[in-house]
């Protein structure tokens, strides 16, 4: 599906000064950068022109990741529609990136920069973690593209991003006094920490199903559905017939959050509230581990769609729940990233900044 042309300014008084290795390159060189946001559900591909300090979207396509055997297969589909020379490539990939190679966490591809460079005949190819791309994308966001969940204080310092989607991404941003330096993590795969009897029962339910129970198992799209199924079993109820029928043709997690926001089903409401509690708890743990007084940013494909349905009181109560460090957490602003293309834009920024010939 094609998108309309859109301009995104890089240096128009950015809210978040992000450090790039070749910071002035995009001002002095014009280039066409192919950027990708590669996730377990969808892969977003776009061609940008970097010129005079701004990115101009030339073309954009969205692909269902699991319908393709490789990223190169998607590239070939995309290239057929793009008769424009590509100068550089940057991929934000949902999975660990080691020595220029990325193995997807929620999809089976191995992505190798050398293979892509050879296939596309482009020397300037970068592969970064998708959450790093998300962090670099903060450089182009506007104030209206952030939703406030918890105000906190306006203090400079480290920051972090947590992004529930098909999986759970986490990234840190080290503050050096003038710029943020993103660094990837795989914190979403750390052990889920139950805090009461209900959550322990949920852990047992998930442990039986998955063995290892990470935060990703509860703070993600699939996690929402698992929480719902657990509550149905725990309360010894059955799924209402009309909901059960809709789940056969609709994404169950999307349907559950929709019904919760419309206040149409008590189990769906409780599911969304538990998801909110877990998101708040893990956000607080991230804030403490990173000393992220500069802020927690919640990205991903879920929260922007349901932000109006998130109970901010529930979030705040479960966020500020760390005993002697509660005063620190009260200082931390929590904001939702409303622009779902932030990782794609971040990959484009990184690619343009890293361009060489």
Pair of tokens at residue 45 = 């591909």
215/133 same-domain check: no
43/152 same-domain check: no
Helix (H, G, I), strand (E, B) or coil at 333: coil
What pLDDT score was predicted for residue 66? 87
135/155 same-domain check: no
User: Domain limits at 260?
Assistant: 144-337
Helix (H, G, I), strand (E, B) or coil at 101: strand
What pLDDT score was predicted for residue 53? 74
Helix 266-290 and helix 312-319, axial crossing angle in degrees, nearest 10: 40
User: Which CATH number goes with the domain that contains 170?
Assistant: 3.40.367.20
* C-alpha distances out from residue 101 to 9, 98, 104, 336, Å: 30, 5, 10, 30
List, in order, residues 6 or more apart from 132 with CB less than 8 Å away: 92, 171, 182, 183, 184, 346, 350
268/246 same-domain check: yes
What pLDDT score was predicted for residue 8? 61
104/149 same-domain check: no
Residue 278 lies in a domain: yes
**With contact defined as beta carbons under 8 Å apart, do 202 and 194 qualify?**
yes
132/151 same-domain check: no
Residue 1 lies in a domain: no
294/213 same-domain check: yes
pTM of the full structure: 0.91
Closest-CA residue to 89 (of 59, 49, 52, 122): 122
User: Which CATH number goes with the domain that contains 94?
Assistant: 3.30.420.40
User: What is the rounded distance in angstroms from the CA atom of residue 229 to the CA atom of residue 290?
Assistant: 33
150/248 same-domain check: yes
What pLDDT score was predicted for residue 10? 58
Q: How many CB atoms lie within 10 A of CB 124?
A: 18
What pLDDT score was predicted for residue 1? 46
318/349 same-domain check: no
What pLDDT score was predicted for residue 13? 61
296/314 same-domain check: yes
Over the chain (357 residues), the average pLDDT of each successive run of 10 is 54 75 59 91 91 84 91 86 84 91 84 90 92 94 91 94 95 96 94 96 98 98 98 94 94 97 96 98 96 96 92 96 94 95 93 78
Residue 2 lies in a domain: no
288/252 same-domain check: yes
Q: How many CB atoms lie within 10 A of CB 158?
A: 19
Residue 176 lies in a domain: yes
Pair of tokens at residue 210 = 């998955």
229/90 same-domain check: no
Residue 264 lies in a domain: yes
Q: How many CB atoms lie within 10 A of CB 178?
A: 8
What pLDDT score was predicted for residue 2? 46
User: What is the rounded distance in angstroms from the CA atom of residue 139 to the CA atom of residue 250?
Assistant: 35
**With contact defined as beta carbons under 8 Å apart, do 283 and 162 qualify?**
yes
Residue 156 lies in a domain: yes
Number of domain units in the chain? 2
């Amino acid at each position: 599906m094609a998108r309309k042309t859109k301009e995104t300014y890089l240096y128009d008084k950015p809210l978040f000064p992000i450090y790039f290795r070749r910071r002035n390159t995009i001002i002095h060189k014009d280039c066409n950068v192919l950027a990708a946001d590669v996730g377990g559900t969808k892969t977003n591909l776009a061609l940008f022109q970097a010129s005079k300090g701004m990115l101009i979207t030339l073309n954009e396509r969205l692909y269902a990741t699991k319908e393709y055997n490789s990223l190169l297969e998607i590239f070939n589909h995309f290239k057929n529609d793009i008769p424009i020379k590509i100068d550089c490539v940057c991929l934000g990939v949902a999975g660990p990136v080691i020595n220029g190679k990325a193995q997807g966490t929620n999809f089976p591809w191995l992505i190798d920069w050398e293979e892509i460079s050879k296939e596309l005949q482009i020397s300037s190819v970068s592969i970064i973690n998708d959450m790093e791309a998300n962090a670099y994308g903060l450089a182009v966001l506007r104030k209206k593209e952030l939703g406030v969940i918890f105000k906190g204080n306006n203090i400079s310092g480290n920051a972090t991003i947590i992004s529930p989607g098909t999986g759970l991404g986490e990234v840190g941003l080290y503050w050096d006094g003038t710029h943020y330096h993103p660094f990837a993590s795989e914190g979403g795969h750390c052990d889920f920490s139950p805090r009461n009897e209900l959550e322990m029962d949920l852990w047992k339910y998930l442990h039986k199903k998955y063995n290892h129970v990470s935060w990703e198992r509860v703070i993600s799209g699939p996690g929402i559905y698992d929480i719902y199924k657990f509550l149905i079993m725990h309360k010894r109820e059955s799924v209402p017939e009309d909901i059960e029928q809709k789940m056969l043709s609709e994404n169950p997690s999307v349907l559950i959050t929709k019904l919760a926001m419309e206040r149409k089903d008590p189990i769906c409401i409780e599911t969304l509230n538990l998801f909110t509690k877990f998101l708040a708890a893990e956000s607080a743990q991230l804030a403490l581990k990173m000393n992220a007084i500069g802020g927690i940013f919640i990205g991903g494909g879920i929260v922007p769609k349901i932000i109006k349905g998130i109970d901010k009181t529930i979030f705040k109560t479960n966020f500020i729940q760390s005993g002697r460090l509660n005063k620190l957490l009260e200082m931390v602003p929590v904001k939702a990233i409303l622009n779902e293309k932030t990782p794609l834009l971040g990959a484009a920024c990184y690619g343009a900044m890293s361009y060489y010939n």
